[in-house]
Amino acid sequence: MNAPTRNALSAYTQVGIETSVATASPHQLISMLYAGALVAIAIAKGHMQRHEVAAKGLAISRAIGIINEGLIVSLDEKAGGVLAQNLKALYEYMSSRLLMANLKNDEALLDEVSRLLNELKGAWDEIGKRPNVAPPPVSDAAPSRAPVSYGKA
């Protein structure tokens, strides 16, 4: 693929992501954050396997940013009580595991965080399918746009 085509595709993808974010409900935004973190971790794992140190670090940083600047910030600890506090602790744990994965080049740590995120995303998506069940409160600090670009590494 030549550079102009790649640039056009990138711009088209970015517009699609921005449109999706702009029209998403708070519940959908959280699901998108989970998906973005999972994509960033998968990209990091590929870079790790190819010994692409700088690209691996960027992808892991992207995943940590999504967790810290998206998922943690969106928690409403006052309204969410113990559940929100436990989620915050889990998100902080995941961020520290990702940092350690980067430092030690440890794929198992990436896999651990991916499993945790997949479980949370699955539960979150199930909540969204149930019309009679209100999702846990999301704070006013919920991102109005994706805090970190996660479309490319």
Query: How do residues 92-120 score in pLDDT, each as one tens digit?
Result: 999 999 999 999 999 999 999 999 999 99
Residue 17 within any structural domain of the chain: no
Residue 10 domain flag: no
Tell me if 130 is assigned to some domain.
yes
Question: Is position 12 within any domain?
Answer: no
Q: How distant, in Å, are the alpha carbons of 5, 16, 46, 125 from that of 119?
A: 37, 26, 22, 10
As given in the structure block, the two tokens for residue 123 are 């539960």
Alpha-carbon distances of 122 from 85, 115, 127, rounded to whole Å: 20, 10, 9
pTM equals 0.75
Residue 148 lies in a domain: yes
Q: What distances in angstroms separate CA 43 from CA 26, 52, 99, 117, one per listed residue?
A: 26, 11, 15, 15
Residues 12/4, Cβ–Cβ less than 8 Å: no
- CATH number of the domain at 129, please: 1.20.120.340
Q: Which residues, in sequence order, are bridge partners of residue 75?
A: 138
Q: What is the pLDDT of residues 50-78, one digit of tens each?
A: 999 999 999 999 999 999 999 999 999 99
Position 20 in a domain? no
Q: How many domains does the chain have?
A: 1
Q: Is residue 152 part of a domain?
A: yes
What confidence score (pLDDT) does residue 152 get?
42
**Residue ranges making up the domain that contains 152:** 25-153
pLDDT at position 23 is 75
